Structure formats: C-alpha cells, structure tokens
Amino acid sequence: MTASPIGREIDRVDGRPKVTGAAEYAADHDLPGLAHAVVVTSTIGRGEILAMDLAAALAAPGVLEIYHPGNNLGLLTPPQNMPPPGMVENYAPLQDTAIRYRGQAIAVVVAETFEQARDAAALVTTTYRTDPPNTSLAANLPGEDAPGPLYNVSVLAPGVGSIDEALAASEVVVESTFHQPIQHHVAMEPHAAVAEWNAAGDRVTIHTGSQGTFATVQLLQLRLGLPAEAIHVICTYTGGGFGSRVPSWNDSILAAGVARRLGRPVKLVMTREQVFTMVGHRGQVDHTVRLGATRTGVLTAVSHDADAELPNVGGWLLVPAHDTTDTLYKTPNLHIGQRLVQLDLPPTWAMRGPNEAPGAFALETAMDELAVATGVDPVELRLRNYATVAPGNGKPFSSKHLADCYREGARRFGWSARRATPRSRTDGQWLIGMGMATAIYPGNRMPVSVSVELCADETAIVSTATSDIGNGAATVVAITGADRLGIPVRKVTARVGDSTLPPGAVAAGSQATASTVPSVLVAADDVVTALIDLAVTDPRSPWHDGARPVYANGRLHGGGHSATFGQLLTAVGRKSIEARATTQLAPETAERFEFHSFGAHFCEVRVNRFTGEPRVTRFTTVVDSGRIINAQAARSQLIGGVIFGIGQALLEHDPLELGTGRLAAANMADYMVPVNADVPDIDVHWLDRPDPHVDGLGARGLGARGLGELGAVGSAAAIGNAVYNATGIRVRETPITLDKLLEV
Ligand code: MOS
C-alpha cells in the first residue's frame, strides 16, 4: 500500500535541475545562427519622434539590422474589444512615431553578439517633439458622471436614501484615505524571449517565461497575424511571474517580429531597467474607506471609493474594493465606487493580489481604526461583523472557516498578550506592537485538460500546459497523479509549460491547483478504466475474456492473476496507454456559491524610538484554503505572500517624476524589496478543511482552493496595524518608512 502523498512535505520534482543550474530559462536557450536584439527606449514621457540618427549604430561592428518606425516589423495592434490581457499594450511597437510613455520601445538593434547589439544601441540618437505628459493621479480625476469601471456596488437597507445618510446615522464613523504607490513585480528572471521560425516562415517557436502558454499564444497570434497553431510557446522553467507574465510584452513580440524579418533565430533579453517600464507595474491608487458602526462595533455602513491609475496604453483595471470590501464583512449598507484615471505612463498590470492587496490594506487598516474608536479588540471586531453570506449579493460561501483562522491564529501568536494602548510595551530603545488583519482572495477555477499516460516502464506521465512559475505546479500535478494511481511520486513525470500540451490553467488568479487537480483525478481514473478494458479485451492478457480485474496501487488483480500496469502493457505489446480529461466548475455551482479563500495574519513589530526604523519581528498566518496538496509548497507560497506584504508595508514604491513621467526607482538598486534581513521566521498554518464544492466531483474530489496570492493580501495591513500599536502613529500612505515614524 502506497501512503497518500496528499498534504505531505514533498520535494519539488524540478528542484534538482533548478538548484544544479540544469534548468533552462528563456534566455538560456542557444540556437545555431542566433542573433541578439537590444531594445532602444524613449527618453521623453509624451510626444513624437522627429528623427533618428542610426548611421553610427549601423556602422558598428557586428550589427545586422535596426528596426524602427521607418523600418518597422509589420506588427499588429490587437482588437480593443478583447478581454484582458489583450488591452496591453493597445498599439503595435515600432509601428509609428508616437511616444506614449517614458521608456517605450522605439528601435531594436540586432547584431551577431549581445555586446555588439548593446554597444550599437547606445549610438542611436533620437530627436523628439516633447509634449507634457499627464502623469498626476490627483490632477486627472474623471468627472462625477464619467463612466465607472467594473464592480461598483450599492446596497442600502430599506428606507435608507444613500450611503452618506447611513454613515451620518451611525454612532461611530471612521474615514480614512490611503495612497498605494507604483510597485513592481521584480520576478527573478528578467523578461526574455528566444524566437525561431521554420524555413517557410509560417511557424514560430518561442521560449519565453509565461504564466499561461495559451494566453501567450493568443496574444502573439494577434500581434503576428498568425493562426494559433503556428505559434509554439515553451516555458518549461519560468523564474517568477506575480502577474507580470500573464500578458506578452515587447520581449516576445519584438523577438518574434525580428526573427521573422531577419530569417534567423533571435534572442531578446530586457535589461532590468527595461523590465521596470516595458512590463506593466502595479498602478497607483488613491482610495477612501468610510466605516459606520454602533458603539459596540457592529458595522452599519461600509463605503470604499477608489481612483486608480489606468495608463493610456492600457493596463489592469485596478479595483481595490472588489473581492475585499464588497465581500468581507456583514453590513446593511454597502457602497463601492471605483474609477480609473487615464495617464501617460508605462502600462500597468496585475501584481500578486492585484486588487486585493491594496484593497485589504485600506479596509483592514480602517477596521483597526474602528477597533480603536470603539475600544473593541480587533479580532473580536471582525467576529462581530462576520459575513456568512456575501454582503454584495447574499450568496453563501462554498466553504468558509475564517472564524477558526482568527481563533487559531490568535492562539498560536499569543494575541492575548497584546495591550490595546499604543506604546505600552518597550524593550530598551524599541517600541513593540502587535497587529492583525484578514486575508481574502477569490477561489477561482478555470477549464483545464490533463492527460495521464501509464507506461510499460512502470512510470506515469501527467501532462497539462500550465506553467510552473516557481509555485510548485509541476509537483502538484505529480502528487495528484501519484495519489490517484496509487504509485510513488517519483514514478510520475509531470509535463508542463508547453502550449502543445493539453490546454492547462494559467498560473494566475491563484487557480492553477484548484483547476488542475480535478482534471488529474478524472484523467487518472479514466486511464485505469482504459487499462482494465485492455486487460479483458487483449488476447495476450491473462484476464482476456474473463471477469474485470481490480486496480490498486499500480497493479491489477483478480481471477488468480496479478500484474503491474507495466507488466500488462509489456504482455500486450504496448508502450503506454493514455486518457485525457477536461473539467470545469458547473455553471450552476459557480452561480450558487461565492468561492473565496481566507486567512488571518498576526504580526509583531519593533520600532526604534530614536531612528523610527520599523522591523517585523514575528508573523503568524493561518489560512482556510480547502485541502492542501503539498505542505512544503503551500508553506512556501504563503511565506512568499507574507514577504510580499512586508515589501508592500515597509519598502516598495517607485516615485514618479510628474513633469517627465519618469519612474525614479526603475532599477534593482533603487527599488527596495525585502531581503532575508527584513524577514523573520514566518509561522504558517492551515486548517486543511476540504471545500465540498470547488472540485465538482463530490466524494471523488480533494477540495483544494488556491492560496498563491492569499498571503500577500492583508499582511501589509497587519504590519501597519502593529506599527500603530507600537507607536500610536497611523500611516496610510505606504511604504511605512522610518521618516514617517520619526515623531516617535
Ligand atoms: Mo496573478 S496577479 O493573478 O497573475
């Protein structure tokens, strides 16, 4: 009997190639005849190219060609009625002379070596007509009657005329305005692509990091004017995404365009600085949360208004109240008003908890302010306002054990030792504070196909075109296949990251596990049925024409015979047998329930009373995300999410130079992300209660919901709330840097 690997500590199936350097990321691919492309970018924020002097660059050693608006690549603009991510970028690179943002691609220099291309690119000089870019969020607010974006909500109790009336009638009101600055994904692997066309020039193979090979194919086909079958995307290994690899950016678009025109394979690697501008960033948001409550902290009105950056070149429709403020607490009156502000800035895109991380910082900070205003303990305040149905639409949750997350988190963390009054605990020059906040993220699912193949060599291959961006997706696939087939994980090969595999999940929206697991289960069951069919139909099988054998743990038994699947396949002269399954959530189930994952964060900080320096010293997170498939990967994802929260709360922002549209910290030296010294031991725990509805397979299912983004939601608020408890200073504009705490 093979013990089930589900929920155990399983090493990554791709761990060895990753730590030995054998794993090939996009830019590691080398091909015969490879040419190297380097992008030249605009140095103004808006205007037009008047002239480009290319003579010196063209004469430089090794230069093969320069593409620019006067010698363009014939790239196409996707239709603008496409759903995201088709909306970025809404023009074709190098097709015209317009400058839409600072850092936009204006030319590509191609040479025999990377160094030759880089040096020649530095010789290109460009003359512009410069127009003043609109870059200020506050100065470009849409009018009151401007069409709002998605997800505005208004729920009012009978007899209540408006949210303002509901707030005015509340015994206690908290009103706070928050600013979320521009942030960046900073994935380990810089964006890069290697493109190679076939001899006829009608099919292209692209190695590029991708969060979804199908999304990449879909966007590239629109850029290149090709049918989907003509594009093969391979991303066996991808060095992080956090949202930045959902759309296709100039690395893959230009590499494919240049390789087609040049008739040679082309490698294009963005510089780190280019990744900060040419790849979408997390947009800035100004948002105001107003909470009305009784004196005992029972919510009577909840309002969240947001103005978020939407670049004119397109980007993520950032709606921070969606799936946070519209879902989290019970309230008779709810108002969500979200607007987008169009600016001449580089594109934006979803970044880990794209709406939810900024949204939860605002809501969960405001809830802490309400706890202070009412004198109710922050955990108790959340329990008093616990939603058993979604407040926006009244639907029940598929599975919700958030109350136990609060209780278990408080117990593990030692919340009862907290003192409500700020500055009550000190240790020498350090002020010590504790804070908590809620985590919430949608329990998404999408249609996914998986194939399971049993092989004569006693191994199995589970294939699906999802991407393993470092999240452990390949290992989840292997574990689930091994569990259902009853064989060891090491006997299962997971194939992922290739658009020719069965259509798989995007590694986005925290949905790869929840979407892939049910399809692996069904495909595994189907291949076993096919194996048994083979056993009774093939004349060379010992079960031929007899009673159907029973399958267990990689073996068929019955009628006095026993054989492993490999032995049976060998006996009948087959190399393998395969089954393919597609599952998705039934529309009626999706309609009936609200699917969300939940969690509770608890944080201790120390703030230096002389320098204002904040340090996170303890962190406990307890989540409810259904069944856990791999304890090791789940812990790693949740810890990574909390580290994202540390960055959001204390370090990350890219200041914008309003006059020029320049992002002032668009490089890894100036943009601060947490390093090991910023991160304490993070205690992560989960309830491990299966979601009965998420698989749609009844008792056959495992009940796993996603958790990839969950840890990044609310963790920054827990830190900010702990800073307040330590110092009595409430910072509503992240990051909470020491200068904001100097009055300590
Ligand atoms: Mo993630 S921001 O859902 O790609």
| Distance from C-alpha of 100 to C-alpha of 103, rounded to nearest angstrom | 9
Instruction: State pLDDT tens for residues 229-249.
Output: 999 999 999 999 999 999 999
Task: Report pLDDT for 87.
Answer: 76
Which residues are annotated as catalytic?
709
**Of 444, 471, 707, 709, best ligand 1 pocket probe by most atoms within 8 Å of the beta carbon:** 709
Centroid of ligand 1 to alpha carbon of 460 (angstroms):
31
**Owner of token pair 């607490």:** 329
**Of 246, 317, 323, 648, best ligand 1 pocket probe by most atoms within 8 Å of the beta carbon:** 246
Question: How far does Cα 541 stand from its chain's mean position?
Answer: 49
Residues 6+ apart with CB under 8 A from 513: 473, 476, 629, 704, 706, 707
Q: At 390, which amino acid appears? A: A
Report CA torsion sign: 523, 528, 533, 538. Answer: positive
For 33-48, what is the mean pLDDT? 98
Which residue blocks in 538-579 are alpha helix, DSSP H? 565-571
Question: How far does Cα 513 stand from its chain's mean position?
Answer: 13
Q: What share of the chain is helix, strand, coil (3-state, %, to 5)?
A: 30, 25, 45
* Angle formed by the axes of helices 715-727 and 631-646, nearest 10°: 50
Q: Can you tell me which atom of ligand 1 is nearest the CA of 351?
A: 2
Residue 149's nearest CA partner among 428, 339, 2 is 339
Q: Can you tell me which atom of ligand 1 is nearest the CA of 509?
A: 3
Q: Can you tell me which atom of ligand 1 is nearest the CA of 510?
A: 3
pLDDT at 82 over 90: no
Task: Report pLDDT for 142.
Answer: 83
Instruction: State pLDDT tens for residues 212-228.
Output: 999 999 999 999 999 99
Centroid of ligand 1 to alpha carbon of 242 (angstroms):
5
CA distances from 506 to 212, 214, 510 (A): 4, 8, 9
Tell how strand 299-311 and strand 334-343 pair up.
Answer: parallel
CA dihedral 354, 357, 360, 366 (to 10 degrees): -120
For 659-673, what is the mean pLDDT? 97
Centroid of ligand 1 to alpha carbon of 254 (angstroms):
24
Task: Report pLDDT for 614.
Answer: 98
Task: Answer yes or no: are the C-beta atoms of 566 and 514 closer than 8 Å.
Answer: no
For 571-591, what is the mean pLDDT? 97
| pLDDT classification of 77: cutoffs 50, 70, 90 | very high
Task: Answer yes or no: are the C-beta atoms of 225 and 95 closer than 8 Å.
Answer: no
Output the DSSP codes for 34-75. Answer: -EEEEEEE-SSSSEEEEEEE-HHHHHSTTEEEEEBTTB----
Q: Can you tell me which atom of ligand 1 is nearest the CA of 507?
A: 4
Centroid of ligand 1 to alpha carbon of 641 (angstroms):
12
**Owner of token pair 């607010």:** 141
**Of 318, 319, 352, best ligand 1 pocket probe by most atoms within 8 Å of the beta carbon:** 352
Task: Report pLDDT for 143.
Answer: 72
| Distance from C-alpha of 267 to C-alpha of 269, rounded to nearest angstrom | 7
Residues 6+ apart with CB under 8 A from 567: none
Centroid of ligand 1 to alpha carbon of 470 (angstroms):
13
Centroid of ligand 1 to alpha carbon of 355 (angstroms):
10
Residue 48's nearest CA partner among 108, 110, 119, 126 is 126
Task: Report pLDDT for 148.
Answer: 59
Residue 581's nearest CA partner among 483, 462, 450 is 450
Look up residue 282 and give its two tokens.
């997390």
Task: Answer yes or no: are the C-beta atoms of 277 and 41 closer than 8 Å.
Answer: yes
pLDDT at 145 over 90: no
Compute the mean pLDDT over every residue in the chain, rounded to the nearest whole number. 96
Residue nearest to atom 4 of ligand 1 (CA): 243
Centroid of ligand 1 to alpha carbon of 703 (angstroms):
22
Q: Identify the three-state secondary structure at position 96.
A: coil
Look up residue 625 and give its two tokens.
């995300």
Instruction: State pLDDT tens for residues 678-722.
Output: 999 999 999 999 999 999 999 999 999 999 999 999 999 999 999
Task: Answer yes or no: are the C-beta atoms of 260 and 65 closer than 8 Å.
Answer: no
Residues 6+ apart with CB under 8 A from 254: 37, 39, 67, 73, 75, 93, 94, 105, 108, 268
Residue 249's nearest CA partner among 185, 318, 301 is 185
To 5 degrees, how large is the angle CA 118–CA 120–CA 125?
115
pLDDT at 744 over 80: no
Tell how strand 561-564 and strand 555-558 pair up.
Answer: antiparallel
CA distances from 736 to 102, 434, 668 (A): 28, 15, 20
Q: Can you tell me which atom of ligand 1 is nearest the CA of 241?
A: 4
For 463-484, what is the mean pLDDT? 97
For ligand 1, which residues put their CB under 6 angstroms from it?
Answer: 211, 241, 243, 246, 350-352, 354, 508-509
Q: Can you tell me which atom of ligand 1 is nearest the CA of 211?
A: 4
**Owner of token pair 């850029």:** 223
Q: Can you tell me which atom of ligand 1 is nearest the CA of 506?
A: 4
| Distance from C-alpha of 497 to C-alpha of 328, rounded to nearest angstrom | 35
Q: Which helix (H) or strand (E) holds 685?
A: strand 682-686
Task: Report pLDDT for 393.
Answer: 87
Reported in sequence order, the residue ranges of 379-534 that DSSP labels E, i.e. its strands, are 425-427, 430-442, 448-455, 460-463, 492-495
pLDDT at 290 over 90: yes
Centroid of ligand 1 to alpha carbon of 240 (angstroms):
11
Q: How many CB atoms lie within 10 A of CB 507?
A: 30
| pLDDT classification of 2: cutoffs 50, 70, 90 | low
Look up residue 132 and give its two tokens.
């003043």
Q: Can you tell me which atom of ligand 1 is nearest the CA of 243?
A: 4
Centroid of ligand 1 to alpha carbon of 122 (angstroms):
34
Instruction: State pLDDT tens for residues 305-364.
Output: 999 999 999 999 999 999 999 999 999 999 999 999 999 999 999 999 999 999 999 999
Report CA torsion sign: 311, 246, 625, 620. Answer: negative
| Distance from C-alpha of 723 to C-alpha of 645, rounded to nearest angstrom | 14
Q: Can you tell me which atom of ligand 1 is nearest the CA of 349?
A: 2
| Distance from C-alpha of 557 to C-alpha of 567, rounded to nearest angstrom | 12
| pLDDT classification of 144: cutoffs 50, 70, 90 | low
Q: What order of strands is seen across the sheet that includes strand 576-583?
A: 492-495, 460-463, 448-455, 576-583
| Distance from C-alpha of 139 to C-alpha of 157, rounded to nearest angstrom | 35
Q: Which helix (H) or strand (E) holds 397?
A: none
CA distances from 240 to 217, 281, 500, 645 (A): 19, 15, 21, 17
Residue 101's nearest CA partner among 90, 85, 117, 86 is 90
Centroid of ligand 1 to alpha carbon of 453 (angstroms):
30
CA distances from 722 to 321, 645, 685 (A): 23, 13, 20
Tell how strand 576-583 and strand 448-455 pair up.
Answer: antiparallel
For 394-405, what is the mean pLDDT? 97
Q: Identify the three-state secondary structure at position 145.
A: coil
Centroid of ligand 1 to alpha carbon of 711 (angstroms):
13
Centroid of ligand 1 to alpha carbon of 175 (angstroms):
30
Structural domains present in the chain: 15-21+446-584 (3.30.365.10), 31-132+188-240+245-278 (3.90.1170.50), 371-444+592-741 (3.30.365.10)
Instruction: State pLDDT tens for residues 194-215.
Output: 999 999 999 999 999 999 999 9
Instruction: State pLDDT tens for residues 509-556.
Output: 999 999 999 999 999 999 999 999 999 999 999 999 999 999 999 999
Per the model's pLDDT, the better-predicted residue between 33 and 145 turns out to be 33
Instruction: State pLDDT tens for residues 699-709.
Output: 999 999 999 99
Phi, psi at residue 433, to the nearest 5°? -135, 155
Look up residue 490 and give its two tokens.
């090491």
For 416-440, what is the mean pLDDT? 98
Phi, psi at residue 47, to the nearest 5°? 145, -145
**Owner of token pair 């506050």:** 138
Centroid of ligand 1 to alpha carbon of 354 (angstroms):
7
Which residue blocks in 554-661 are alpha helix, DSSP H? 565-571, 587-592, 631-646
| Distance from C-alpha of 200 to C-alpha of 540, rounded to nearest angstrom | 46
Report CA torsion sign: 392, 394, 395, 398. Answer: positive
Instruction: State pLDDT tens for residues 351-366.
Output: 999 999 999 999 999 9
Task: Answer yes or no: are the C-beta atoms of 496 and 683 closer than 8 Å.
Answer: no
Q: Can you tell me which atom of ligand 1 is nearest the CA of 350?
A: 2
Instruction: State pLDDT tens for residues 474-511.
Output: 999 999 999 999 999 999 999 999 999 999 999 999 99
Residues 6+ apart with CB under 8 A from 428: none
Q: How many CB atoms lie within 10 A of CB 24?
A: 15
**What percent of the chain is modeled with pLDDT above 90?**
96
Centroid of ligand 1 to alpha carbon of 507 (angstroms):
7
